[in-house]
Amino acid sequence: MGGESQRDLFRVDGRRALVVGAGSGIGAAAAEGLAIYGATVVCADANGDAATATAETITSSGGAATALTLDLMDGDAVRAAGADGDAPDILVTTPAVNVRKRIVDYTDAELDTVVDLNIKAVFRLCQVVGRRMAEAGQGSMIGFSSIRSQTTEPGQGAYAATKAATIMLFKTLAVELGPSGVRANTIAPGVVETPLTAPIKADAAWYQAYADKTILRRWAQPDELTGAVIYLASDASSYVTGTTIFVDGGWTAADGRYTPTL
């Protein structure tokens, strides 16, 4: 492969990306990054104003983007959005919710809140978009899991279970849709400063404890996840499917309890 071709590996020019959760945090950063690398981006979010703001940020910088108000909890809206226009070449889905409670204290309603968005809604979205991608014979599906798919703490029971399930959902998508030319992978972030983690940031001791658990001794910013998104969306990862990339500052690599004298 020539140098020119290798330089273009990460480009996604002419591809249509649907980024769900593009109104803030990791989703907004992913939408902006994909646009920089040439994609036409549909910025979808339950908060229509936030989706519009991200799309305007992209277009004001010379990129191509439109906004879409899309509530993943509305199955009819998801099916309609998935059937609209050409099939996306790239799907990125980031929305998730957590209710921090011990398992024995969970109510059915709280469990439904977490499972309905983190798994059922994502399953439904992937079902609709995956079918369209398979019909088109190509596509890259990118889901967001978490370090909580591998390591947990009190109060993370339902969330951790859904994030582990997200990995298996995308592995199964890879198995089922791969013969039709569709790849499916997940990204597992560590601690990232987003609206979801704002309550932790507000507690200085909690925030610092999480920073200290990472090898890099700090939290990530949303745009530090963008490189993994671009990689999985582009031809640079053309032989990568059914896997998970951990972007966690070394959280899952280090024991973290004690640094012995050597």
Active site annotation includes 159 = yes
Sign of the dihedral through C-alpha 83, 14, 224, 242: positive
Q: Cα-flanking dihedrals φ and ψ of residue 65, to 5°?
A: -160, 150
Whether 30 and 226 have beta carbons less than 8 Å apart is answered as: yes
Nearest alpha-carbon partner for 89 in 39, 128, 127: 39
**DSSP bridge pairs for 66:** 42
Q: How far apart are CA 169 and CA 166, in angstroms?
A: 5
Q: How far apart are CA 212 and CA 131, in angstroms?
A: 43
**DSSP bridge pairs for 142:** 92, 185
Whether 176 and 125 have beta carbons less than 8 Å apart is answered as: no
Distances (CA, A) of 238 to 28, 90, 241, 243: 24, 13, 8, 13
Q: Which of 37, 106, 159, 231 is catalytic?
A: 159
Strands lying side by side in the sheet with 16-20: 64-69, 40-45, 16-20, 90-93, 139-144, 182-189, 244-247
DSSP 246: E
DSSP 86: S
**Which are the catalytic amino acids?**
159
